[in-house]
Chains A and B, each alone.
Chain A
Amino acid sequence: MNGGSAGRISPHLKQEQFLFVPYVTWKVLVRSSDCTSPQGARMRRVWTWLGWGSAIAALWVAALQADLSEAQRGVIQALPIWALVVFGCYSLSVVGYEIMFFPACPDEAEKLQKDIRVATAYLNKHGISVSK
């Protein structure tokens, strides 16, 4: 038995945790891919997200159980927040880029007005009312 620093839990509990989380993850992933009932099929997206979320959470928990230095442990602990911030920056960048290079078609309004004029002339000629 090693002494362990203040943040370590007992090796006995660590063993069970190692098995429990991956087992739950496996069950959820299998459930999500086996949606044969109408209710199950309706919830397929939720189960898939839960499955992947559980798998990543299990990896993170397992990483925290490993023998790490304080600096490494700090990095692992900060990973979820970091991932959230990265996703936020990515979202802003993508949306900002899409707004900046928004596909515009300035001549389409003129073409439409021209088509409206042609249509109006035809319709007036045949007695169909095109009121304003």
Chain B
Amino acid sequence: MAKNKYSVLLPTYNERQNIAIVTYLIVEAFCRLNVDFEVVIIDDNSPDGTQEVVKQLQAHYGADKILLRPRAGKLGLGSAYVHGLKHTTGNFVFLMDADLSHHPKYIPDFIQKQQETGADVVTGTRYGGGKGGVHGWDLRRKLTSRGANFLAMTLLNPQVSDLTGSFRLYKKPVLEKLMSMVVSKGYVFQMEIIVRARRAGFHIEEVPITFVDRVYGISKLGGSEIAQYLKGLLFLFFTT
């Protein structure tokens, strides 16, 4: 039986403070499992020196384990994934945030769930499963999140409890196929992937994860973001 190799795609922009810590935690999680892995960091030319830290990590862990595939500028999350996918050599791909809101300690849970069920996509849920949760959200943020989730569930019926979550494990061919179908950006991008995966008949499973919001203070949910979300919802309603 062929051995599995797990690639972790980390798009970064100004993550100098966190990139070393998140890489350490990822490596620790995989080494406990004793599986083959690699971490692919796609940096959009961060001005704060993120790439220098990544080079130090490469010197320590090995350039076969930590791959740096930078880009010329901020070109968006979707294209970062496409770019990173071209450089992965694993047969499974993790997508996650690099700012420590997703904790790499859940990586074994994803792998176990995938092996138990043979799923094509394993998505982390902050809302379901009893063990999941969110820390750092005030009442207004919770209201926006639950309201948006309810609207999306009613219109799109994706049969997952967390539509906008971005901590997921995919089989590599599945992710490549989905990336060729998806056109949206931002929150809608994460929703579109799951909705299109449902439509295409892929097997989707969920694992509970915890989410510690570290960015909220900086990126408020403004009126324009809500408008963008609603437009994206309607687009998905009419095209899936």
Give Cα A108–Cα B154 distance, bound, in whole angstroms: 31
Q: Are A129 and B20 in contact (CB under 8 A)?
A: yes
Closest to A106 in B: B135
Give Cα A130–Cα B25 distance, bound, in whole angstroms: 14
Q: Are A43 and B133 in contact (CB under 8 A)?
A: no
A43 to chain B, nearest CB (A): 7
Give Cα A86–Cα B155 distance, bound, in whole angstroms: 17
Interface residues of A in 92-132 (CB under 8 A from B): 94-95, 98-99, 102-106, 108-109, 112, 115-116, 119-120, 122-123, 126-132
Q: How many A-B residue pairs have CB under 8 A?
A: 90
B63 to chain A, nearest CB (A): 15
Give Cα A98–Cα B56 distance, bound, in whole angstroms: 44
* A45 interface residue per 8 A CB criterion: yes
Residue total for B at the interface (Cβ-Cβ under 8 A): 38
Query: Which of A46, A109, A132 sits near B212, CB closer than 8 Å?
Result: A109
A120 to chain B, nearest CB (A): 7
Give Cα A43–Cα B127 distance, bound, in whole angstroms: 30
Closest to A107 in B: B135
Give Cα A43–Cα B25 distance, bound, in whole angstroms: 43
Collect the chain A residues with CB atoms within 8 Å of residue B127's CB: 98, 103
Collect the chain A residues with CB atoms within 8 Å of residue B199's CB: 44
* A73 interface residue per 8 A CB criterion: no
Q: Beyond A119-B25, A128-B53, is A105–B100 a contact (Cβ under 8 Å)?
A: no
Give Cα A44–Cα B25 distance, bound, in whole angstroms: 43
Collect the chain A residues with CB atoms within 8 Å of residue B133's CB: 103-105, 108
B119 to chain A, nearest CB (A): 22
* B5 interface residue per 8 A CB criterion: no
A11 to chain B, nearest CB (A): 40
B96 to chain A, nearest CB (A): 14
Interface residues of B in 142-199 (CB under 8 A from A): 142-143, 146-147, 149-150, 154, 156, 199
Q: Beyond A102-B146, A126-B60, A128-B60, is A44–B240 a contact (Cβ under 8 Å)?
A: yes
* A91 interface residue per 8 A CB criterion: yes
Give Cα A126–Cα B21 distance, bound, in whole angstroms: 13
A90 to chain B, nearest CB (A): 10
Closest to A113 in B: B212
Q: Are B56 and A128 in contact (CB under 8 A)?
A: yes
Q: Are A43 and B238 in contact (CB under 8 A)?
A: yes
Q: Are A116 and B21 in contact (CB under 8 A)?
A: yes
Q: Are B146 and A108 in contact (CB under 8 A)?
A: no
Collect the chain B residues with CB atoms within 8 Å of residue A129's CB: 20, 52-53, 56
Q: Are A46 and B238 in contact (CB under 8 A)?
A: yes
Give Cα A122–Cα B139 distance, bound, in whole angstroms: 37
Collect the chain B residues with CB atoms within 8 Å of residue A123's CB: 20-21, 24
Q: Are A105 and B135 in contact (CB under 8 A)?
A: yes
A94 to chain B, nearest CB (A): 6
Give Cα A88–Cα B136 distance, bound, in whole angstroms: 29
Q: Beyond A116-B21, A123-B20, is A108–B135 a contact (Cβ under 8 Å)?
A: yes
Q: Beyond A115-B103, A123-B24, is A104–B53 a contact (Cβ under 8 Å)?
A: no
**B20, B60, B134, B238: residue with the most chain A Cβ atoms closer than 10 Å:** B20
Given contacts A103-B127, A123-B20, A131-B16, 10 further A-B contacts (CB under 8 A): A46-B237, A98-B146, A99-B142, A105-B210, A119-B25, A123-B21, A123-B24, A128-B20, A129-B53, A130-B17
9 A-B interface contacts by CB (under 8 A): A43-B239, A99-B143, A108-B212, A109-B212, A112-B100, A115-B25, A116-B21, A116-B100, A129-B53
